[in-house]
Amino acid sequence: MGNTQGWRWGPFNFRLPFYHTRLHWPEFLQGLLVSTATGLALVPVLVGYFGLSFEQAITCTMLHSVFLVSALYVFGEPYAPGWNTAALPLVMAFVFAGYPTPDQRFQAMTALSLSFAGLVFVLGITGLGRKLMRWIPNTLKAGIILGAAIASFKQVFVDDAEKFLLVQPITTIVACVVCMVCLFSLPFQKLKLRHRSFAAIAALGLLPGFIAAAIVGPLVGEVDFEVQWDWLVPPVSETIARMSPFSIGWPTAEMYLKCIPLVLITYVIQFGDWVTGDEVLREAMPSRPDDPVDIDSTRSHLALAIRNFGSALVAPFFPTQGTLWTGVHVIVVKRWKEGPQAVRDLHSGMISYYLMGLPFIYFLLPLLTGLKPLLGIALSLTLILSGFACAYIGMTLPRNPISRGTALLIGTALAVFEPWIGLLVGLCACLLLVGLERDVVAGDDVAASTPTGFDT
């Protein structure tokens, strides 16, 4: 494969964009549309809850993107990287309820990221991750995933309703309906099989919902576009000074202790992403013997730990450094499977979707200001679709009615109480109502914890 193998450094493989990887325009153009529309969804949160200006929030998102995409070209991971979306509502509920000031919230995010990095590092080098997943009962896994679903809906319809949903109700509902139909509707799935145009629409993830919002919003007076024609110079040093523990102070010992249950919960979700990504790759690998893919669990754990550690020191926002954007992973692997005439090698396809690792969209002020009125809708979309996906996955894991009821109880406790109380309720409920369970194969049942195309 010539230059595609990259430069080895330790267990990792550095691939220089354009030298080790080729630009593929279909992936690049689709990534330009989809990643721009979804990647800025946290901007309203950073402005509303963390006290950043719009420009600082954009810069923070750019830093998150740089760390995220480094999984591809710095560490050589074979997955399309994305947020740990299912953990996002649980993290937001934990941070917003427990810490009132922006500095404290960034410190809590730092504690979460550093603790998660430490856990992933230890479980990776010792191989204990798979053993941990084998020990966790199915009912508890289901409860964790249902907890993420309930927390998602609670965040949109209760906690943040006055800030986002009730400000743009019609536009948000229209966007959600369009995305729900494209991603989950069974009648629409049948149309996808018969018509390639419907399949192409579904592959765009959140973009059809954004287009619908951009059309309907101005018509009903809920969206007002004010495009500014200029360049944005991201205030990097100023933004880091607002977030970094070197500037605002380090988390307290109490913060680290409080975040441990949520870190464990997030690892359960994260492990499912790895299983999902591996299965998608293994299904396609026989079609591409010319481009061998190196799946290495230890390397993946180490890369994830390093990314979370680095982002914690610069731009801490815990759920943004996950492993898998499932929809993009499936799309790129499917094209790669068609042969070298479609995609020369897997990493070229992946990095093309992520704009060759170049964060140029964060300098385009017309694009950013044009999307600004839709960012609250983007956040609501992300949470609602994540909640729906987590709900239907969580409900399939329990094997009997008692387990289903127990899982719902656990999920409610996790969404309503602090993480350690929710986890304690979950452990007690499993032991008292279901008893001990063991999985035959570690991680299989949680493999689809983020199975759809909207995950970021």
Cα separation values, 106 from 46, 50, 284, 339, 434, Å: 10, 8, 41, 45, 38
Q: Per-residue pLDDT averaged across 287-299, rounded?
A: 90
Domain boundaries, the chain: 23-83+101-138+162-380
Q: Work out the pLDDT band at 450, boundaries 50, 70, 90.
A: very low
pLDDT at 189 over 90: no
Q: Work out the pLDDT band at 275, boundaries 50, 70, 90.
A: confident
- Residue with the larger pLDDT of the pair 282 and 113: 113
Asked if residue 152 lies in contact with residue 408, where contact means CB atoms within 8 angstroms, the answer is no
Sorted by sequence, the CB contacts under 8 Å of residue 48 that are 6+ apart come out as: 163
d(CA 91, CA 60): 18
Token pair for 21: 């990887």
Model pLDDT, residue 13: 92
| Torsional class of 320: left (φ above 0), alpha (ψ -120 to 50), beta (otherwise) | alpha
Model pLDDT, residue 443: 43
Q: Residue 44: which of 455, 315, 373 has the closest Cα?
A: 373
**Residue 364: beta bridge partners?**
231
Least confident of 83-92, 128-137, 447-456: 447-456
pLDDT at 451 over 60: no
- Residue with the larger pLDDT of the pair 71 and 141: 71
pTM of the model: 0.85
Q: Per-residue pLDDT averaged across 276-294, rounded?
A: 89
Model pLDDT, residue 74: 94
Model pLDDT, residue 396: 85
Q: Work out the pLDDT band at 438, boundaries 50, 70, 90.
A: low
Model pLDDT, residue 207: 79
Q: Work out the pLDDT band at 205, boundaries 50, 70, 90.
A: low
Q: What is the pLDDT of residues 239-271, one digit of tens each?
A: 999 999 999 999 999 999 999 999 999 998 888
Q: What is the pLDDT of residues 372-399, one digit of tens each?
A: 888 888 888 888 888 888 888 888 888 8
Model pLDDT, residue 379: 84
Model pLDDT, residue 446: 44
Model pLDDT, residue 445: 45
